[in-house]
């Protein structure tokens, strides 16, 4: 029954070989080849139409790698959106993330864990630099992304004992989240990512926030060494309402401004997902 795919391929699957853009330098063209082709970044990060085809396949489309929901995770924009994409990242930030699985903005989690464990960390440094150079050339949707995020330290006052009694989610945050992510939401450098200004806290779709809270993060293995710090699963510890409240608190604090997470949102993903595996997988680097 796979024969109908032949028709789908004719309509939606590009068959042309990559043709370098003469107006760009060699590094950009190498990055474009890797991102658009061999790296198939758009398979997760590009939204799809009703026919399940990617809405864009290269840099000429504003939809290309602009962010998409897949398998219960929201794969964020890889374009230069100020809040929900790579706008605040440097080329070196992109390189370090793909090479080591972490930088000062985020640590690998969700579907990207498999991509990092089995793929990007094994790219040559030159290829990773090319990918970073190409991605940083893609313009973001500055109008749709809103005003650039700015940290609001005054909101940390809501976590004082006298104040947090009346704020849904604040008590849970202090009990379950603040030890690692901090009362200020700024995390612990490259080891524990910030929640203040995180793309997952700024994108309207809350799927990734819910999923990682419910199920934790999978084991990240960099250069053959399993990670020491992982997001634990709170599936068995917190109710749907408690998770909704704490994520609503996170997504509306420190300058984050996103709509409330509902109990129904959490309940739906709880039924559709399972806890991430904590088993270490040792990969050879040669």
Cβ neighbours of residue 182 closer than 8 Å, sequence gap 6 or more: 188, 194
pLDDT score for 236: 96
The verdict on residue 281 lying in a domain is: no
Cβ distance 18 to 49 under 8 Å?
A: no
Classify 238 as helix, strand or coil. Answer: coil
Nearest to 173 by CA among 200, 144, 195, 143: 195
Decide if pLDDT at 255 tops 70: yes
Average of per-residue pLDDT across 90-101: 98
Give the domain range for residue 243. Answer: 153-272
Contacts of residues 259-264 at CB distance under 8 Å and 24 or more positions apart, as own/partner, are: 259/204, 261/206, 261/209, 261/210, 264/240
Q: What confidence category does residue 190 fall into, taking pLDDT thresholds of 50, 70 and 90? A: confident
Structure tokens at 226: 């399993």
Return d(Cα 256, Cα 118) in angstroms, integer: 33
Radius of gyration of the chain (CA): 20
Are residues 268 and 214 located together in one domain of the fold? yes
Is the whole model's pTM more than 0.85, yes or no?
yes
pLDDT score for 147: 87
Are residues 168 and 266 located together in one domain of the fold? yes
The rounded percent of the chain whose pLDDT value lies above 90 is 76
Are residues 200 and 266 located together in one domain of the fold? yes
Are residues 134 and 239 located together in one domain of the fold? no
Cβ neighbours around 119 below 10 Å, total: 14
DSSP state string for 55-113: S--STT-TTTTS-EEETTEEE---SB-TTTSSTT--HHHHHHHHHHSB-SS-B--TTHH
Are residues 193 and 251 located together in one domain of the fold? yes
Nearest to 184 by CA among 174, 199, 172: 174
Choosing from 97, 112, 145, the residue where a domain stops is 145
CATH of the domain at 33: 1.10.760
The verdict on residue 124 lying in a domain is: yes
Residue 239 backbone dihedrals phi, psi, to 5 degrees: -80, 170
2-55: per-residue pLDDT in tens?
A: 877 887 787 787 777 888 999 999 999 999 999 999 999 999 999 999 988 999
């Amino acid at each position: 029954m796979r024969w109908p795919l032949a028709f789908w391929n004719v309509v939606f699957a590009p068959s042309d070989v990559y043709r370098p853009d003469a107006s760009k330098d060699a590094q950009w063209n190498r990055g474009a080849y890797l991102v658009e082709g061999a790296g198939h970044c758009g398979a997760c990060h590009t939204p799809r139409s009703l026919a399940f085809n990617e809405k864009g396949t290269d840099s000429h489309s504003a939809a290309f790698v602009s962010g998409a929901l897949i398998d219960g995770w929201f794969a964020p924009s890889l374009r230069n959106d100020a809040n929900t994409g790579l706008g605040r990242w440097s080329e070196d930030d992109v390189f370090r993330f793909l090479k080591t699985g972490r930088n000062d903005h985020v640590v690998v989690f969700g579907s990207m864990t498999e991509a990092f464990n089995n793929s990007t960390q094994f790219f040559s440094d030159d290829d990773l630099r090319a990918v970073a150079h190409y991605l940083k050339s893609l313009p973001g949707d500055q109008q749709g992304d809103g005003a650039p995020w700015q940290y609001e330290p005054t909101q940390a006052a809501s976590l004082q004992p006298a104040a947090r009694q009346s704020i849904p989610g604040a008590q849970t945050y202090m009990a379950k989240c603040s030890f690692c992510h901090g009362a200020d939401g700024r995390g612990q450098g490259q080891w524990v990512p910030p929640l203040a200004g995180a793309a997952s806290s700024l994108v309207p779709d809350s799927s990734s926030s819910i999923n990682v809270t419910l199920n934790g993060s999978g084991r990240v293995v960099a250069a053959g060494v399993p990670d020491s710090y992982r997001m634990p699963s709170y599936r068995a510890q917190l109710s749907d309402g408690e998770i909704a409240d704490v994520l609503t608190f996170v997504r509306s604090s420190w300058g984050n401004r996103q709509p409330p997470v509902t109990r129904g949102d959490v309940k739906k993903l709880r039924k559709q997902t399972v806890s991430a595996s904590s088993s270490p997988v040792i990969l050879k680097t040669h």
